[in-house]
């Protein structure tokens, strides 16, 4: 299976820009300060499209859980958190070779 780097289009799709800050994870005592680009993702589907026609549907939940479905049928679950200018996934299942995957917010 070829793993594509999920390009999170949350900010692009919503037209928002992330300011610098410290790490924040859903479920943190500071969840009321979740950056706006993440807050708009809750209860919505975020789509990533690739030049080869493939896609990934992303679901970020307020409780810190994440689900992803790839166009080839692959499904993953994870925990998400914001780390400065990146969205990071940890506890990815089924298990990946890396324990943490971060993607730039563009």
pLDDT tens column, 1-60: 444 444 333 333 332 223 323 344 444 434 456 788 788 888 899 999 999 999 999 999
DSSP 12-69: HHHT--PPP---EETTSTTGGG--HHHHTTTTS-EEEE-TTS-EEEEEE-TTSEEEEE
* pLDDT of 32: 58
Burial of 37 by CB count in 10 Å (0-12 exposed, 13-18 middle, 19+ buried)? buried
pLDDT per residue over 89-104, tens digit each? 999 999 878 899 999 8
Q: What is the mean pLDDT of residues 56-71?
A: 95
Whole-model pTM over 0.85: no
């Amino acid at each position: 299976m070829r793993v594509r780097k999920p390009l999170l289009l949350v900010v692009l799709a919503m037209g928002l820009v992330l300011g610098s800050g410290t790490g924040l994870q859903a479920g943190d005592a500071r969840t009321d300060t979740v950056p706006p680009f993440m807050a708009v993702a809750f209860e919505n589907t975020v789509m990533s499209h690739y030049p080869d026609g493939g896609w990934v549907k992303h679901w970020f939940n307020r409780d810190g859980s994440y689900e992803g479905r790839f166009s080839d049928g692959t499904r993953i679950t994870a925990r998400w958190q914001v780390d400065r200018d990146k969205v990071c996934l940890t506890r990815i299942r089924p298990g990946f070779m890396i324990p943490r995957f971060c993607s730039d917010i563009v």
